Structure 1
Amino acid sequence: MQIDVYQLHRHAWNRKLLNTYWFLVMLQLPFEFLYSFTAKRDLPSTLSHLASSVLIMILILILLETTNRYYKKLLDYQIISGGAILSFTIIYFNYEVDLVALYILLPIFVSIFYHQLSKIVYSVTLTLLSFFILFTVRWSVLSDYTLADMLTILPVLSIITIIVSGIMKRGVEILDDLRTTTELKQELLIKNIIMDKLSKTDALTDLYNHMTFHEYLDELIEQNALGHFRIHIALLDIDNFKKVNDTYGHRAGDAVLKNVSSTLKNHVGLNDFVARYGGEEFAIIFTEKNTDEVFDLLERIRWQISQAKHAELNEHAVTISIGLCEYLPGTSKELLFAGADQSLYTAKKTGKNKTVIHSAPLKEAN
């Protein structure tokens, strides 16, 4: 199932905005009480004032919470609307406080989080509506505000709308730039991974290449010096491969190389390392296995290859010869390869299609 990341983020922000509304209501409670106290209202008036304003705000939040749980389709607009009603309620019950009118901007600031011009326009419309309703039912009767004072809200809100829209557009531009930069970085990373893979693998067989094979073997020998573990090298060569190319063509020869490579990859263990060493020759590094285990595995590979029919060869099979040598701590890599190569030479000269283990002691050349 594909997850819509945008929807997840939007739901998360809606939850945060709802939490902010709850915080606003809880924060407003002591200020409502303090305002009633400083206004020298009697206790019944104070309690009535608090009950009316707080009850309305809590009912609004409960309605928003219910919508958030059961009907999220238009939750963005409902949260903006809830902010407008909350601000209206706070101003309506605290109209005598000079700075309380700033709450009228709450839905506009909330709409910024959605980065959509339609929601900004919607919030500004609600703000204007709230403002003129408040003027009609409160300020025109209970304050010194005049209609001319109220009309100044139009240019102020226009400027605020322009600024908010600019902030939103700039945020969208930053997100687009970030998305483009991220995509470019991902594309570059993928290219680097591909280039790294191409530099380490053989294009035809998708096995590791000659250079990577030696790098890995050098690292294993260094680790072996720190803590001894068994290492075996096997050199494998397809028998009579030149005849395959001469008889069936190089395309058929390439198909055989791919098939043999696939067999090798499917039979070795996770800790083993297979490479195309060159031409029709392959090399395998076996780790943490004894000689009998490696020999049995190579024999299964050799038998499997000898039984596989190739459509490119008119359903004929090919065989491989294998030379195996175990690494002895303290000896050189060159000596290890010499032992495996000598065993491979013996397998070739004694009938092919066999595995020969190097048994003579490894000695450095004088």
Structure 2
Amino acid sequence: MKSSDSVFDHLEHVNKQQKWIRNFLRSYWVVVFIHFFAQLGAFLFLDYPATAYHFFVHILLIPTSCMVLMIVWADWIHRTRLQLSYYALFLTSTFITWTIIYLNYDIRIITALCLMPIFSAVIFFNKRLLWIPALLQMFAFLTLYFADPHFRTFLTPFDVISIPAFILGGTFVAHVIVSSGSEILNHLHHTMQSKQDLIVKNAIMSKISKTDGLTNLYNQVSFKDYYDTAFDYASQGVTLHLALLDIDNFKLINDTYGHQVGDKVLGTVAQIIQDHISSSDIAARYGGEEFALLIFDKTFDEAYALVENIRRHLSLLHWAELDNQTVTISIGLHSCEPGLNKEQLFEQVDQYLYHAKRSGKNKTITSHSVGSIA
């Protein structure tokens, strides 16, 4: 079975080819109308060797109508029978080409138009498709040559040999173009694929270097970078709150129940934090059992409610691994305010966390509550 990526690539390629076919059909309308007005201008302003009736009926109206009907037919095939679009396109271009050549075969260079259907197939980069318009050109030339004495007598023996050779030579050149173009496209595809793989690998490595492997939160190094940037924004008026969260009695958990249980506690606390913060907030594992939060675009009361929700949610969980006991956290919270630099803000929050630990744990301490503790 094809992978989803290869299926989507195939569908995209098909859609592009259908778009190219529509563009070619539009260009055929242009060719037909240019020929129409060129013939009309030649009759009106040049010494045209035909009566008005013969010109308007047999040279202008009937051929133009037939070419228009062919384009309409090809467009209908394109809309209703997509698998036959190529054949309809090449048949239409061959009919238009040789109708124009037949009407103007006194112009020696006009037979060069027979290359138009062949080179129109180049855009599809399919070598097998090149031979369809090539064979159609050869068939159209031979049909006119054997069916129309006037066309036959107009051609010299050199023309009889050179026109088929011209068609085959043009097909060979188109074949070389398609081969070279396919190689270039494949090279570009592999180059782009390699670049995409490199971008993905770099993104993964960047994520690994910035995050803590156990909790999937940012690590201490990346947090410090974000903290510096956040403080700069705060100095420009952005609302910023800093919170430090520490798991109570974590060393006892590790010593009593083992490090595997301790790791599970860390992972669960990190997940609860992620579940409660918004997409604009930043959470990090700052130390062994300590977490740091940068909270943006909230009032102090909203920031306090956020960390309290985290604390209460965790305190209500009972752990089978801990003999159905609960795990609690202590929190220090403070807002960035005028007069505090980033070091002072961090030290202040760290002191609040210390007060929370010393005053019974499982609580959030802020500037509003520290006075009552003292």
- Do both share a fold (TM > 0.5)? yes
Task: Map residues 122-201 of structure 1 onto 2, 5 A cutoff.
Answer: 122-138=132-148, 143-146=153-156, 149-201=159-211
Q: Is the 8 A contact 1:238 1:321 kept in 2?
A: yes
Structure 1 residue 175: Cα displacement: 1.2
Q: 1:280 aligns with which of 272, 278, 289?
A: 289
Task: Map residues 160-309 of structure 1 onto 2, 5 A cutoff.
Answer: 160-227=170-237, 229-309=238-318
Q: Is the 8 A contact 1:94 1:100 kept in 2?
A: yes
Give the 3 Å change call, closer, same or farther, for CA 230–126 of structure 1 in structure 2: closer
- 2:36 pairs with 1:26: no
* Matched AA of 2:147: V
The count of residues paired between Structure 1 and Structure 2 equals 361
Corresponding residue for 1:310?
A: 319
Partners of 1:122 and 1:318 in 2: CA distance: 76
Structure 1 residue 244: Cα displacement: 1.5
Partners of 2:336 and 2:93 in 1: CA distance: 76
Once superposed, what is the RMSD of the aligned Cα atoms? 2.3
Give the alignment's TM-score, normalised by structure 2: 0.89
Q: Is the 8 A contact 2:144 2:151 kept in 1?
A: no
Task: Map residues 54-69 of structure 1 onto 2, 5 A cutoff.
Answer: 54-69=64-79
Corresponding residue for 2:12?
A: 5
Corresponding residue for 1:322?
A: 331
Any idea what SS the aligned residue of 1:113 has? helix
Partners of 1:32 and 1:288 in 2: CA distance: 73
Partners of 1:94 and 1:209 in 2: CA distance: 78
Structure 1 residue 319: Cα displacement: 0.9
Partners of 2:102 and 2:315 in 1: CA distance: 92
Corresponding residue for 2:352?
A: 343
- 2:89 pairs with 1:82: no
Give the alignment's TM-score, normalised by structure 1: 0.91
Corresponding residue for 1:14?
A: 21
Give percent identity, aligned residues only: 34
Q: Is the 8 A contact 1:139 1:145 kept in 2?
A: no
Q: Deviations over 1:99-125 (max 9, x none)?
A: 221222222111112111111111111
Q: 1:114 aligns with which of 105, 114, 124?
A: 124
Runs (5+) with no aligned partner, structure 1 = 362-366
Give the 3 Å change call, closer, same or farther, for CA 347–144 of structure 1 in structure 2: closer
Q: Is the 8 A contact 1:255 1:312 kept in 2?
A: no
Q: Is the 8 A contact 2:115 2:170 kept in 1?
A: no
- 2:61 pairs with 1:43: no
Runs (5+) with no aligned partner, structure 2 = none
Any idea what SS the aligned residue of 1:264 has? helix
Give the 3 Å change call, closer, same or farther, for CA 124–218 of structure 1 in structure 2: same
Partners of 1:59 and 1:140 in 2: CA distance: 26
Corresponding residue for 1:364?
A: none
Any idea what SS the aligned residue of 2:294 has? strand
Bigger shift: residues 336-345 or 217-226: 217-226
